[in-house]
Structure 1
């Protein structure tokens, strides 16, 4: 299916359209934060602490240290998007490497890789991330690596099943019979045919990465200060939820909307790329 047709099918899907809008808002916020924020998100002004929305020139108010809430949300969008994209890239490398190793190696080594993958899947992504950040210390790169490795193991199972299916098709067997080498077959036949499934799975990895980063930062294992992220905003304001609930509502809505957006985008991509799920128009008799 060509890219323009897939894009039209995605936008015709209600889930895909809503997902594109929500993800678009996240991307736009991240891009805007690169060139403009109302205030320096790390600027501390205790005299402006606890300002309510629409007061003192602060659209969403300030926290107890006088930092502008809207500026932190915009900057947090950039941090969240960067973490999610890099974690998805790590997951793609890990998942694809495990999947190709499992299907291309001889029977027993391939089976060993499959067994290792099945064992690692038993550990949730968030648990793996917490273990790695506890051992190596909280940092953005540790969080990215931990989330990417954990999500990559889950991606490997799906990629391996798709790769095994493609390798058993007649045209791949015919390519082998015609003298096509292993890596040529992988490049020309295998990767293009499993790419749609991987793209859908990676969109779901993005939602897992957003949620995992927020959860790790909220628990104190994630992005260290003075860096700004939505999870860190929740972590710093959790002691003041009763007095200033709006300070946790804004980042909470941002996290929920981003996770929902990536999930809906994944559903829309699946509908757009899977011929069995696309809605076909039937002409009345």
Structure 2
């Protein structure tokens, strides 16, 4: 822990006993990893122009930004131990509150939550769009899709990077047979809900499909029942891939013992 305290103090250029002792207390209370994440975020804010004091008459030092962020993220009891003169809720800094969230901040914020991570009851993902390629196997059909331009996002959210996210989707043969007749139509969009797994080896998100349908299949079901109404996926913004027909490869006769 002493090495971490020394590293943070040197980065913040803090030489007095009191702030160094506070850094040590912070590491003890919230952990070294989370404390370093606050330091990383303070450096990002400093590189983006810094942060002014509550009155707005001067710019905070790097140490001031660091301690401000830490105070804001602590519980009342934690804050009371480290900052007894700041035991009440810290005032919201208008400049920080008004600043749009930067995409680069997400890494430092994620590190702050690492020690709190637990398994979630259910994490489901929905993928809607045009398949790029389809490989049919005996029991499973493999589909690739990728994200396009993001829709209009709520105010305050950062713009994601331009690099598309690639999805590798595994669909059980029984579900695939229900949507296969519509795949060749360029107006059709696949709708998949399933269990997402980040595939580090492939650099993709692999989705194990739990339910599969398509816009044209849902429209056909409406025609059979006489129902009307909007179909999920039909209101998606146009894409350059809309007119493409996915390539379908039949691997059902190939032995499925590939490693």
Task: Give the TM-score, by structure 2 length.
Answer: 0.21
Structure with higher helix content: 1
Structure with higher strand content: 2
Task: Give the TM-score, by structure 1 length.
Answer: 0.19
Larger radius of gyration: 2
